Amino acid sequence: MSIGEFDLVEQIRRLASDRPDVVLGIGDDAALVAPPPGMQLALSTDTLNSGVHFPAETAPFAIGWKALAVNLSDMAAMGAIPAWCTLSLALPDADSLWLSEFMRGFGTLARRHQVALAGGDTTRGPLSIGVHIIGFVPPGLALRRDAAQVGDDIWVSGHLGDAAAALSLWRADQAIPDALRSRLECPTPRIALGQALRGIAHAALDISDGLLADLGHICAASQLGAEVHLENLPTSSALLALTVDTDTRLQWQASGGDDYELCFTAAPCQRTAIARLADTLALPLTRIGQIQATPSIRPFYRNHPWQPRQAGHEHFCEDKSDACKAPLR
Ligand code: ADP
Ligand code: MG
């Protein structure tokens, strides 16, 4: 069903999530919110473009979910509590059925994490979804990329490589096991983990572009290096069940993107606290390496240096090799 822009916005307004500290939500020239006194605000934005960040045929529920999930993941990576967001939608046509499924995906995750959709913008154009998110964090406690220390353990949450495996099967037109598909389409932002790591972790980020590339950001910001032992990477049973050679699996796990797990560093004296956290959250937390003074990332597999085929995804990459074929983030 095709409708006008006003009706689209009205449909979004009816389906939007809310929370009590939104003083004025959708409908005016700007939203008004009441931040908790004494907190620092954490601001972030991420855009998903059709054909770049998700295959064009992706179900609208999954697109809505993922558009918010990748932004929530940034809040998680900062140890921030997400609160409000805005939504910039460019739609090729005004399809009310598409929009209601999109909003169901977006809203399910928004309500799960008590995030209000407080405003946005709706235009016509190639399908693109931009989300701005705002959260808060106690002063001085945010998890930053530049705070890793020599001797820190390197940890990752959950399992790595599922999303990259799903994308690879998708591109090859092969059947995708549900467990892998849902990790690509509907990733789980590690909000509770991020907040619990405040005061435990030194540095953290979320893995969107591939473990080694993202860990490189922590090392560059902290002016340090790292050794990573890939035989320790946490692997899901769904990924293990695929019949692929070890190197292909390791490429997905070490360099594939879209996992939205957290990678963090912490002093060795925090191992017990982190193990307890894994139990409490029922989320695997796995030690995979160590921060060192020598710059650069050194991956090993069973004590042999290991070569990634690609460093990770980069936007506006000139090279047309596999590394640059999408999804570019
Ligand atoms: P204006 O042109 O004055 O900016 P709009 O017509 O774009 O107003 O939007 C009207 C109201 O609807 C605003 O409060 C705006 O924040 C909200 N809005 C528009 N598009 C969206 C959207 N995609 N998601 C959420 N709110 C939206
Ligand atoms: Mg206006």
Predicted local confidence at residue 1, as pLDDT: 53
Average pLDDT over residues 237-259: 96
Asked if 82 and 133 count as a contact pair (C-beta separation under 8 A), the reply is yes
Predicted local confidence at residue 313, as pLDDT: 54
Query: What does each C-alpha distance from 267 to 220, 241, 245, 287 come to in angstroms?
Result: 19, 34, 34, 11
Which residues hold their Cβ within 5 A of ligand 2, which is an ion? 29
Q: Is the CB of 29 under 6 A from ligand 1?
A: yes
Residue with tokens 């969107």: 208
Confidence of residue 324 (pLDDT cuts 50, 70, 90): very low
Predicted local confidence at residue 328, as pLDDT: 36
Average pLDDT of the residues of the chain? 93
Confidence of residue 94 (pLDDT cuts 50, 70, 90): confident
Provide the CA 145 distance to its chain's centre, in angstroms.
Answer: 15
Ligand 1 atom nearest the C-alpha of 16 is 25
Predicted local confidence at residue 322, as pLDDT: 39
Q: Is the CB of 118 under 6 A from ligand 1?
A: no
Predicted local confidence at residue 319, as pLDDT: 40
Give the pTM: 0.94
Instruction: Look at ligand 1, atom 18, and give the residue with the nearest C-alpha.
Output: 120
